[in-house]
Amino acid sequence: MEISSGEAALRDVANAHQPPAWGRWLLWAFVLAVAANFAWIVAHNPHFGWPIVGQWFTEASILRGLGVTLGLTVVAMTLGTALGLVLAIARMSKDRLFGSLSGLFIWFFRGTPLLVQLIFWYNLSTLFPEIVLKIPFGPVLASWNTNDLITPMTAAIAGLSLNEAAYMAEIIRGGLLSVDKGQVEATDAFGMTRARALRRVIIPQAMRSIVPPTGNQLISMIKATSLVSVIAMADLLYSVQNVYNRTFEVIPMLMVAVIWYLIITSILNIVQGFIERYYARGERGTVSADKVPVRVEEPA
Amino acid sequence: MSKAAEGAAPMVRARNVHKSFGPNEVLKGIDLDVAPGEVVVVLGPSGSGKSTFLRCINHLESIQRGFIEVDGEQIGYALRGTRLNRLSDHAIAVQRRKIGMVFQQFNLYPHMTALENVVEAPIGVHGQPRAEAQANAMELLARVGLAEKANAYPRQLSGGQQQRVAIARALAIRPKLMLFDEPTSALDPELVGEVLSVMRDLAKQGLTMIVVTHEIGFAREAADRVVFMDGGVVVEQGPPQDVLGNPQHPRTRLFLSRFIEKV
Ligand SMILES: Nc1ncnc2c1ncn2[C@@H]1O[C@H](COP(=O)(O)OP(=O)(O)OP(=O)(O)O)[C@@H](O)[C@H]1O
Ligand SMILES: [Mg+2]
């Protein structure tokens, strides 16, 4: 039916207007004014020592500390996620032995403070002066001096990644449980191996609920790495502490660290957004089915 | 109209199949032979064990007594001399690879396009070269009338289209036997026809099929044999015109009377 005249034309929603929302604009103006004022006060407060912040922001020892923080985060997160995946799969398996070993690991590493774990790893040599590879109650296959193995670096990596693995295991297990049972059934019916079903069907779908809490973990991890300063690892926080112990410019140096931490987390937030969009593909409305050209390789 | 070659080795041989969930005995001694090329439609009231029996055939459920053979191989077990050994998970997976299955809820992989759904098992499980698998998949999608939807994700398709993709996906592994568990029950009435018409074509082409359905019309037209199950046993079976037209057992009559208005 043609809508052309009279009330019908006036009621056509195609010509609708959005009435101006004066209240919201006022609120915006107020909030922006408060924010600008706060920024002005902070910028002009001499106690923040902005010139000093600028001077140290890209200084070599600070950048080295930043590198350590990022490196530790990447390594611990990678190892922690990989081990967490194994733990999650073990915990969900029908096998009682693997299930309980995994449960025990998670119970212990989530149940004790990370700081204590780090100190424990760092001081491993006082508990076990030698690390020995041998058959239980049988002959020794190899042995190492613990002090040679445990440097601040290896203690930090071991402590952070084992702790992270326990948390990632639970996040991944939750993700795997969120996948529809029918999907597992379909992979079974097609005779897929367990490993392939996980890799191709189950994990890609679990990722939708794994990614957001993992982003959270990653950001916690960046800050948790600052704990390694207790075992003399020169991370970002340790490096700024080193400086203000000499210069006593505590607040400006902490601002250096704070700004770097904020920059890194902002970048991670953006990356997380992209990853979430990738795993949301297949949701209704992301692509129009009819408009995508069909691309098929010709048989050789 | 039976296409079953008389005397040929059966594609499916089930003997005295018993299955319980805890104290609840769901299958109470099922005997069933399905000949190569035969189309068997299984009817029966809700809870009679139709889905359970279908799932036992490809060992999605294990049985407690009796045995099931598909294509001459016992499913889930192997006879070594006089000793019957349980097969490993991997060996069971291998046995399942010649049986296609279509589910009531489709169970397409939602993160893959229709084409990716269809090529997944041929490439990943059967080791087909990608180009060959894709060409074959496009042929199958065309056969179910969905060639132009190859790059659509399942959620962008209607229920009927999803189920047709699921049928193409099951056909892509070139199954010797196809199992359908109420393939049209989750569909809006106007979408049922398109799925049944695909299944009728498959029946004509001589695929061995076991179909659990409530579509009496499909049973009448496409089945070589109708099996009526109730309470975990096969109550009555025979050619569709006999079982549907002149049921012998009172329970069959009672069940069919509920469909009279639909027929
Ligand atoms: N995994 C399970 N655990 C426990 N009981 C089950 C399970 N699966 C099925 N059952 C029970 O087995 C009986 C038969 O179920 P089944 O799904 O085989 O019936 P059906 O004939 O397919 O019915 P419908 O027509 O409703 O699909 C039901 O009583 C059901 O509750
Ligand atoms: Mg059922």
Could you tell me whether strands B39-43 and B209-212 are parallel, antiparallel, or unpaired per DSSP bridges? parallel
A99 alpha carbon to ligand 1 midpoint, in Å? Answer: 29
Mutate to test the interface with A, among B99, B151, B157 (most CBs of A within 10 A): B151
Which positions in chain B have a beta carbon within 8 angstroms of at least one beta carbon in chain A? 58, 60, 89-90, 93-97, 99, 101, 103, 105, 107-112, 115, 120-121, 124-125, 129-132, 134-135, 138, 147-157, 173
- From the list A193, A284, A293, which residue is nearest B155 (CB)? A284
CA distances from A205 to A154, A273, B89, B191 (A): 34, 17, 23, 28
Given a contact cutoff of 8 angstroms between Cβ atoms, the answer to whether B59 and B95 are in contact is yes
d(CA B60, CA A186): 10
Residue A298: how many other CB atoms lie within 10 Å: 7
Given a contact cutoff of 8 angstroms between Cβ atoms, the answer to whether B90 and A161 are in contact is no
Q: Which helix (H) or strand (E) holds A173?
A: helix A152-177
pLDDT at A128: 85
Mean of pLDDT values over A88-114: 94
pLDDT at B115: 97
Global pTM exceeds 0.80:
yes
- From the list B111, B121, B134, which residue is nearest A296 (CB)? B134
pLDDT digits (tens, 9 = 90+) for B107-124: 999 999 999 999 999 999
pLDDT at A126: 84
Is residue B2 pLDDT above 60, yes or no?
A: no
d(CA A36, CA B247): 85
Q: Percentage of chain B with pLDDT > 90?
A: 92
Residue in B24, B211, B215 to alter for ligand 1 test, most ligand atoms within 8 A of Cβ: B24
Phi and psi at residue B206, to the nearest 5°: 85, 20
Least Cα separation, residue A76 to chain B (angstroms): 29
Which residue has a Cα nearest atom 18 of ligand 1?
B49
Whether residues A200 and B124 touch (CB distance < 8 A) is answered with: yes
d(CA A256, CA A281): 39
Quick one: how far is CA A179 from the chain centroid?
Answer: 21
Mean of pLDDT values over A234-253: 92
Helix axes A236-247, A60-92, angle to 10 degrees: 150
Mean of pLDDT values over A224-246: 90
Is residue A296 pLDDT above 80, yes or no?
A: no
Higher pLDDT, A128 or A168: A168
Least Cα separation, residue B255 to chain A (angstroms): 29
ipTM of the complex, rounded to two decimals: 0.91
Given a contact cutoff of 8 angstroms between Cβ atoms, the answer to whether A171 and A203 are in contact is no
Given a contact cutoff of 8 angstroms between Cβ atoms, the answer to whether B68 and B75 are in contact is yes
Given a contact cutoff of 8 angstroms between Cβ atoms, the answer to whether A61 and A244 are in contact is no
CA atoms within 13 A on the CB side of A225: 30
pLDDT digits (tens, 9 = 90+) for A29-88: 999 999 999 999 999 999 899 999 999 999 999 999 999 999 999 999 999 999 999 999
Could you tell me whether strands B73-74 and B65-70 are parallel, antiparallel, or unpaired per DSSP bridges? antiparallel
Least Cα separation, residue A64 to chain B (angstroms): 42
CA triple B163-B164-B169, angle to 5 deg: 95
Per DSSP, the three-state class of B129 is coil
Pocket of ligand 1 (CB under 6 A): B 21, 24, 26, 44, 46-52
pLDDT at A171: 96
Confidence of residue A297 (pLDDT cuts 50, 70, 90): very low
Residue matched to tokens 């070589």? B224
d(CA B79, CA B92): 14
b/e for B120-156, b at 16 or more Cβ within 10 A? bbbbbbeebeeeebbbbbbebbebbebbebbbbbbeb
pLDDT at A284: 54
Residue matched to tokens 């003997």? B15
Is residue A129 pLDDT above 90, yes or no?
A: no
pLDDT at A83: 97
Whether residues A289 and B157 touch (CB distance < 8 A) is answered with: yes
Confidence of residue B141 (pLDDT cuts 50, 70, 90): very high
Which atom of ligand 1 lies nearest, measured to the CA of B61?
A: 1
Sign of the Cα pseudo-torsion (B106, B149, A187, A80, in order): negative
Mean of pLDDT values over A184-212: 94
The token pair that represents A78 in the structure block? 């990678």
Per DSSP, the three-state class of A82 is helix
Among A70, A119, A84, smallest CA distance to A225 is for A70
Among A20, A88, A50, A64, smallest CA distance to A251 is for A50
Which residue has a Cα nearest atom 24 of ligand 1?
B46
The residue type of B42 is: V
Beta bridge partners of B94: none
Helix axes B114-124, B130-143, angle to 10 degrees: 130
Mutate to test the interface with A, among B57, B109, B149 (most CBs of A within 10 A): B109
pLDDT digits (tens, 9 = 90+) for B15-44: 999 999 999 999 999 999 999 999 999 999
pLDDT at A70: 93
Higher pLDDT, A140 or B92: B92
Among A297, A288, A285, A193, smallest CA distance to B119 is for A297
Given a contact cutoff of 8 angstroms between Cβ atoms, the answer to whether A238 and A66 are in contact is no
